[in-house]
Homo-oligomer: A and B are copies of this chain.
Amino acid sequence: MRRRSFLSAAGQGLAAGTAVLAAPAIAVEPSVRWRLVSSFPKNLDTIYGTAELFARQVAAMSEGRFQISVHAAGEITPPFGVVDAVQQGAVECAQTAAYYYFGKDETFALGCAIPFGLNSRQTTAWMYHGNGLRLMREFYRNYNIINFPAGNTGAQMGGWFRKEIKSAADMKGLKMRIGGFGGRIIERIGAVPQNLPAGDIYAALEKGTIDAAEFVGPYDDLKLGFNRIAPHYYYPSFWEGGAQLDFYINTKAWDALPRAFQAMVETAAAQAHVDMQADYDAKNPAALKELYANGTKLHPFPRDLMNLAFKTSMDYYEELSAKNPAWKKVYSDYNTFRRDQNLWFRFAEMGFDEFMQAQKL
């Protein structure tokens, strides 16, 4: 910026020095129109709502010259088809969770959440002020994508179980609906991961086709009604300590944007990013209380399960590093960042939170 100097005291008088010389006169017609396809349904208001916020702010800032229409999962593309759609230029923009695409390349998972990864704030720190965004964008270039972090769920719950899990051994043969990359780990400790769309989970759990199901956290889970058919609610989701959502933008569409519109995308995405975490944090407590009042039993995962899953994860990441160079490049940076973050967070953050959570408030 700069050009800072003009102003001295020009135009005193007006709202305290504010100089509105002319109302910006802009053509009313939109000059850029984009479509944004979401991997999520409208009733997931915490996530879907931030895509709408993003579009609304871009339209407001551009005085309608830059319009983004938002489309729910299935309206234009299937939920997990959005990456292909953006890559091929069929749409300009998508809202999704990177880890859905680990089947294309495991490196996608690092853009969202991996088991025993960074928590929400740490993920944002890695993206914005570590090497995260730079490294992920380098990777996404292979898919004609430039990404913008656009929300985080925070640490999720570990999900709903029909029977208690008393030790790691109880995971053997357990059929569990689990989203994203976590399936790779619970598979290695003997469970049977299943990836079902949100709308099919309830019926599968009710019929006993699956024994357990995780989704997000109290607010979203309560809506889906899992508490009515599985009494045991475990925490934490060790596979989603802070799952990031993203806007994916086709690189040609991005390059064609005027610089001002690019800046609007960047700031509106940042607002969506911080807004979603705040929304989840504000809404989860009431849902948790409602679940508890209705008989849900809260349990921490058994420590031996956590320990086994941790070791399994670290071994698996080493394996991946040996065979996937893209993973290796991004993960080695992520790994160092994670070590440093956990070193620091144990002092002021943990000291404060641990004390506050022990108080009667």
Contacts and interface: CB of A to CB of B under 8 A. Distances in A.
A127 B266 CA distance: 22
Best-buried of A10, A30, A120, A158 by chain B (most CB within 10 Å): A30
A20 B343 contact: no
Contacts of A357: 342, 345-346, 350
A90 interface: yes
Contacts of A154: 121, 348-349
Interface string A120-159: 1110111111100000000000000000000000111110
A300 interface: yes
A31 B35 contact: no
Given A259-B60, A263-B57, A69 B342 contact: no
Contacts of A6: 30, 33, 67, 258-260
Nearest to A2: B259
A17 B122 CA distance: 36
A282 to B, nearest CB: 4
Given A253-B15, A342-B357, A343-B288, A348 B1 contact: no
Interface in A243-273: 250, 252-253, 255-260, 263-264, 266-268, 270-271, 273
A235 interface: yes
11 contacts: A6-B67, A7-B67, A13-B252, A16-B250, A20-B32, A20-B257, A22-B29, A119-B352, A126-B282, A281-B344, A288-B343
Interface of A: 1-7, 9-11, 13-27, 29-35, 52, 55-57, 59-65, 67, 69-70, 88-92, 116, 119-122, 124-130, 154-158, 217-218, 235-238, 241, 250, 252-253, 255-260, 263-264, 266-268, 270-271, 273-275, 277-279, 281-286, 288-289, 298, 300-301, 306, 310, 335, 338-357, 359, 361
